[in-house]
Amino acid sequence: MKVTFIGAGPGAADLITLRGARALAEANIVLYAGSLVSRDMLVHCQPDAEIHDTASMNLEEQVAQYERASSLGWNVARLHSGDPAIYGAISEQMRALETLGIPYEVVPGVSSFTAAAAVLKTSLTRPEVSQTIIITRAEGRASAVPEGESLASLAAHGATMAIFLSGAGLTKAIDELLCELPATTPAAVVCKASWPQEKHHTATLGTLLDGLTADEWRLSTMLLVGQALASEPGAVSRLYSPEYSHRFRKAARDPQ
């Protein structure tokens, strides 16, 4: 018996990893975060698996299910949206399992910030523009953001920013970013990447909210900001240049 924390990916049932789908298929009991994980994902489960939506369960109730499964010798699949290591609230579950002596493992998943980049058909890193991605979040009631990690102070780096949990506070987040970044900085919001309801909007920081009804972007929205999102051509990586040699490939011609 073991508990497997599985990254469900951003939403689409075929964006889970093969390992994650296999663990789901082997589980007798499945706990999934119904507020963020699509029910479509349950297509990978055994037909007689016991399914629990954790949206209405507190930690104690979830741990009680782990204990019950352990006493029955049942495998548990615990589905988290995207990758469990990012805003997944898994640490407290892991500590409880360790205290109870219940074995567990983690299967990573496709995070929503890369799924959002895929929707936009963009790269989050560009040579000479930004080689750094800051993963952060808008402040929320459940988890405080430490001092020194304000959006404005992170924006000062000029890196690409993937701002999670921003849907409910888009105006505030953009106001903070504008304290450090020019209004012309490329910006985009992607809602429900890979779900049938997926939508996105691309503009600049100064114009992003023009014509948007903020309420329609409250849930499962990713805010991406940074010059790397610009559509105009710029410097490209030399990795595939015919003039560039590396350990696995000799240059086809000399650099000019």
Helix segments in the chain, DSSP class H: 18-25, 59-72, 91-100, 112-120, 151-155, 170-178
Query: Minimum CB separation from ligand SAM for residue 135, in Å?
Result: 9
Calpha distance 229→200 (Å, rounded) = 14
CB of 225 to ligand SAM, least distance (A): 13
Label residue 14 exposed, middle or buried (CB < 10 Å: 0-12, 13-18, 19+). Answer: exposed
DSSP annotation of 217: G
Nearer to ligand SAM by Cβ, of 167 and 186: the residue is 167
CB of 136 to ligand SAM, least distance (A): 11
- Residue closer to ligand SAM (CB basis): 74 or 190: 190
Looking at the Cβ atoms of 50 and 198, the one nearer to ligand SAM is 198
CA pair distance 166, 209, nearest whole angstrom: 13
Residues that bind ligand SAM (CB under 6 A): 10-11, 36, 80-83, 86-88, 111-112, 115-116, 164-167, 190, 192-195, 220-222
- Minimal CB distance residue for ligand SAM: 82
C-beta closer to ligand SAM: residue 70 or 160? 160
CA–CA dist 254, 119 (Å, integer): 37
How near is the Cβ of 253 to ligand SAM at its closest, in Å? Answer: 42
> Which residue's CB is nearer to ligand SAM, number 93 or number 221?
221
Shortest separation between residue 219's beta carbon and ligand SAM, angstroms: 7
- Rounded to whole angstroms, how far apart are CA atoms 46 and 140? 36
Residue 246, classified by CB atoms within 10 Å of its CB into exposed (0-12), middle (13-18) or buried (19+), is: exposed
